[in-house]
Chain A
Amino acid sequence: MSRRPDAPPASARVPRFSATERWAHRATAGLMGVCVLTAACLYVPQLAQLVGRRALLVTVHQWAGVALPVPVLAALGSRALRTDLGLLNRFGPHDRRWLLAVLRRDGRRASRPAHKFNAGQKLYAAWVAGATLVMLGTGLMMWFTHLTPLVWRTSATFVHDWLALTLGIVLAGHVGMALADPEARRGMRTGSVTREWAEREHPLWADELMRVPGNSRTRPARTGPRPTTTDSAS
């Protein structure tokens, strides 16, 4: 690859998430947090004993749950989000290498190539989206008890309970990884990351940014890999 002379220095910041994406993330995280907290207070005996107020907690839990997909759906108008969803959806050969390296506990950067999102982030995004919809569906079956036959409802409760536990563990992993990486958090908070971080964590993405200097003002190239866009168009 030929580096252009006007490529920004390594300390420069590169845009990662648009304002719309960040707000969608914040709103989703907030609603998910409300769901998890109210669920814990309804479910864990010690917390239930501390908090009480069951009728209120149930109402808050139900409405936060129903609202959970709204921020992302509302943000679909943003080209940046749609582009990122496209990137999350597409798995390439490097993602296979990344996953294999994880399975072999190979921690070397070189064996874990990643574009804007690594394979783990792609799997997480897809699974959490699916799990959220399952939680929504089973939750609605428990809420509107007279819409579905009885057997379904008992079964929905079973799936809702166990998936909640799984989702809680996976979310804890998501938050834990964010806590361990301040620059990744800064990316979600401010929208940009250092070029150094991008080259270290997402080398394929950083390479592509290099080839499209001043990318925030550049239209996607007609040929070649699609660059990351920002929200300037939306």
Chain B
Amino acid sequence: MGRRVLLGTLGLGALGVVAAPALQRGMEAFLGGAAQRDPTGLTDLLPNGGGFRYYSVTSSVPHKDAGSYRLTVDGLVDRPASYSLADLRVLPRTRMVRDVQCVTGWRVPSTAFEGVRLSELLDAAGVRAAAGAVRFTCFDGAYSESLTLEQARRADVLVALRMRDEDLGHAHGGPVRLYVAPMYFYKSAKWLSGITLTKNVRPGYWEERGYDVDAWVGRSNGRDDEPTT
């Protein structure tokens, strides 16, 4: 009898895996609705409960503000630069509203990001002909990301200053993060502090741990999520 309970649990688990796509759609619809009317925020803790999840690869991340923040652009460029937050804030802004898709499965619909097009900063620095890729480093001291030069010049790649029409908070990678709209969210490095033009793509933090470098939503990492752009 006990054995039957055990086997029954195993069977239900297997059935759950088979029925998961349908169950998941129902659950997302239900919890998405519930989360709208939930003042406690408890639904955010449930699987598929919606909302952002905080991921950091280091034990603690220093806080930077308008006084201490700097973004450097260097490497294979003619005019290396260092931007303060105030410098970035006066540059032309782009605002985009797209879904955010994490490679671990969660998706946050229609999230507004606002910032300076990365191509703008690249043009200002004067990219040399030898450069083929862009490497991003972060002031958490560990995270890094990279894009090919072609990807980096896309109009939907921003150096983001605002999210959901508010200045980027520390937990979301503020004061400045990268925003790569068409790719899984690990490409959108938080706490961005360095942009370096390199000859070839150098895999970033998670990419050295098995994630795809070309992380198009729905066409990489063995996933088939609906594209975000």
Contacts and interface: CB of A to CB of B under 8 A. Distances in A.
Contacts of A145: 210, 221-222
Given A52-B61, A126-B2, A155 B21 contact: yes
B17 A156 contact: yes
A137 interface: yes
Given A145-B222, A151-B21, A159-B13, A48 B56 contact: yes
Most central of A91, A127, A153, A158 by chain B CB within 10 Å: A158
Given A52-B60, A154-B21, A155-B20, A89 B3 contact: yes
Given A126-B9, A153-B222, A52 B56 contact: yes
Interface size, A (range) = 35 or more
Nearest to B16: A159
A126 B6 contact: yes
B13 A131 contact: yes
Nearest to A142: B104
Contacts of A153: 222
Interface stretch (B46-54, B81-89, B111-119, B146-154): B46-54
Nearest to B23: A158
Contact of B47 (A91, A122, A154, A165): A165
Contacts of B60: 52
B222 A130 contact: no
B20 A154 contact: yes
12 contacts: A45-B51, A48-B53, A52-B60, A54-B56, A89-B2, A126-B9, A133-B13, A134-B10, A146-B222, A151-B21, A158-B48, A162-B47
- 3 A-B pairs with least C-beta separation: A130-B9, A134-B13, A155-B20
Interface of A: 43-45, 48-49, 51-55, 88-91, 122-123, 125-127, 129-131, 133-134, 137-138, 145-146, 150-159, 161-163, 165
Given A43-B53, A49-B54, A138-B13, 5 more contacts: A53-B57, A54-B57, A129-B9, A134-B16, A153-B222
